[in-house]
Amino acid sequence: MSKTPITVAYGDGIGPEIMAAVLRILQAGGAQIAPEVIEIGESVYLRGHSSGIEDTAWDSLRRTKVFLKSPITTPQGGGYKSLNVTVRKTLGLYANVRPVQSYEPFVTTKHKSIDLTIVRENEEDLYAGIEHQQTEEVVQCLKLISKPGTERIVRYALEFARRNGRRKVTCITKDNIMKLTDGLFHRMFNEIGEEYPELVKEHMIVDIGAARLAEMPERFDVILAPNLYGDILSDIAAEVAGSVGLAGSANVGDEVAMFEAVHGSAPDIAGKGLANPSGLLQGAILMLVHIGQPEVAAKIKNAWLRTLEDGIHTGDIYDERVSERKVGTAEFADAVIARLGQEPQRLRPAKFGQPSQEPMVPLMVRNQNPAKKELVGIDVFFNWRGTKPEELAALLKPLGTDRLELKLITNRGVKVWPGGFPETFRTDHWRGRFMAVEGQTPDHHAIVALLGKVAQAGMDFIKTEHLYNFDGKPGYSLGQGQ
């Protein structure tokens, strides 16, 4: 078998130690890989690259399309962009896949039989990183959920479940509150889910979903979630399995995939030879399956399981009730290598199939019949330091035109005019909703005319949002209490 080129980064903190251990295990296990080493992280940041990665490193990643990455340290202080987010977004790694297992009784956990995988959307949601300070008192972060982005991750999760013989997919959102954004995610899950009749499909609101994951993780199989919930749920799952240090993850795109440990660079134990290389090893095992070496992946995983069973544990999971010997990073790697070819005796042995040649998700094509979009109004946001909504209404009503009229004022989304409650708390951030006058169809000129009057009146407007109907249905939320 010819060797598959992979890009490797040793990272920071414990990174170099655990990467050396993992590469040694991969080599001893017979992995056919040709590592190409790149430098990323702290040293690159401190040389003045605000994203922690240089052009030559991108060249390697785009050539090999496979990245085994140790954790890195993001230096303290402003101006440094998260390398992880940069790599994920630049290379379009839209799916974050994190398998979580418990290894009871060999690793102490309250839950005996956890075997689940979290599929998290990796590029959108509140992580789009679009934030603004709008007034003295109010800042905002935009939550962006796209149809193609959602379709891709929903298909990925369902396809993942099908190809891996999983039974159930649980979609987690907060669509009782965020009806448009999370509502889209949930709706696409329902729609695309119909193409997978053999799978049990369920939906949970994130609050109860997270609570159940913490209390009854055994009941979950594949969990699908938008970015932020997925991030939080991933750590809950890894923690209740007793094993943040044992979990690895894959970040997968159409072209490139990145494999890593879940934990960070652990500067507190760096250079001491104490770190557990298991998280990165799990990432490397996912990588071997991805590059078509599933037998090697299973051989290494089984040797690793056997090492855990034999009680050879690094300090982070050492428990004198179940452990036999406390070892450091290199000694742990030696123990795994010594068990290559053996299978676990009590834990379920690992078995992986060849990855399918079929792509997980078909190439997204733009909808050729987009919904009919009709402008029906505009929300104008104001920085206004008054307190009485009626006074603001008196200022805004005359700004209406023959095509757009003031219908509503809200503060932090709650209706305060007409007919608000004095109890409602108010900030300096107000929204005036101007809707089409009966029988009129506003256009961009009507919007500009309205904003011209707003500017003439000297009102401090800080942003606007157009209000559209799509196929006759409102594409905007109502004010709370409207």
Q: Which positions touch ligand NAD (CB under 6 A)? A: 14, 71-74, 84, 245, 260, 263-269, 275-276, 279, 316
How far is 272 from 423, CA to CA, in rounded Å?
58
CB of 84 to ligand NAD, least distance (A): 5
CB of 69 to ligand NAD, least distance (A): 7
Kindly list the distances between the CA atom of residue 282 and the CA atoms of 22, 84, 248, 277, 411, in Å, as whole numbers in the listed order.
9, 18, 5, 9, 48
Q: Which is nearer to ligand NAD, 104 or 260 (CB)?
A: 260
Residue pair 41/83 in contact (Cβ under 8 Å)? The answer is yes
CB of 271 to ligand NAD, least distance (A): 12
How far is 303 from 281, CA to CA, in rounded Å?
12
CB of 336 to ligand NAD, least distance (A): 14
CB of 308 to ligand NAD, least distance (A): 14
Q: Which is nearer to ligand NAD, 154 or 256 (CB)?
A: 256
**What residues contact 299, with CB distance under 8 A and at least 6 apart?**
29, 30, 340, 341
Residue pair 389/331 in contact (Cβ under 8 Å)? The answer is no
CB of 277 to ligand NAD, least distance (A): 7
Position closest to ligand NAD via CB: 264
Q: Is the previous residue joined to 99 through a cis bond, with omega within 30 degrees of 0?
A: no
Q: Which is nearer to ligand NAD, 245 or 294 (CB)?
A: 245
Q: Which is nearer to ligand NAD, 158 or 317 (CB)?
A: 317
DSSP secondary structure of 366-434: --SSPPPEEEEEEEEEEE-----HHHHHHHHGGG--SSEEEEEEEETTEEEETT--TTS---SEEEEEE
Q: Which is nearer to ligand NAD, 96 or 410 (CB)?
A: 96
CB of 238 to ligand NAD, least distance (A): 11
Q: Which is nearer to ligand NAD, 74 or 401 (CB)?
A: 74
Residue pair 343/388 in contact (Cβ under 8 Å)? The answer is no
Q: Tell me whether residue 476 is exposed, middle or buried, using C-beta atoms within 10 angstroms of its C-beta: 0 to 12, 13 to 18, 19 or more.
A: middle
DSSP H helices in 241-291: 278-290
CB of 103 to ligand NAD, least distance (A): 15
Residue pair 446/404 in contact (Cβ under 8 Å)? The answer is yes
Beta bridge partners of 463: 381
Q: Which tokens hold the place of 358?
A: 């079929």
Q: Which is nearer to ligand NAD, 170 or 278 (CB)?
A: 278
CB of 15 to ligand NAD, least distance (A): 8
Q: Which is nearer to ligand NAD, 86 or 342 (CB)?
A: 86
Q: Which is nearer to ligand NAD, 14 or 44 (CB)?
A: 14
How far is 377 from 399, CA to CA, in rounded Å?
14
Give the H or E element holding residue 257: strand 257-261
Looking at residue 354, its amino acid is Q
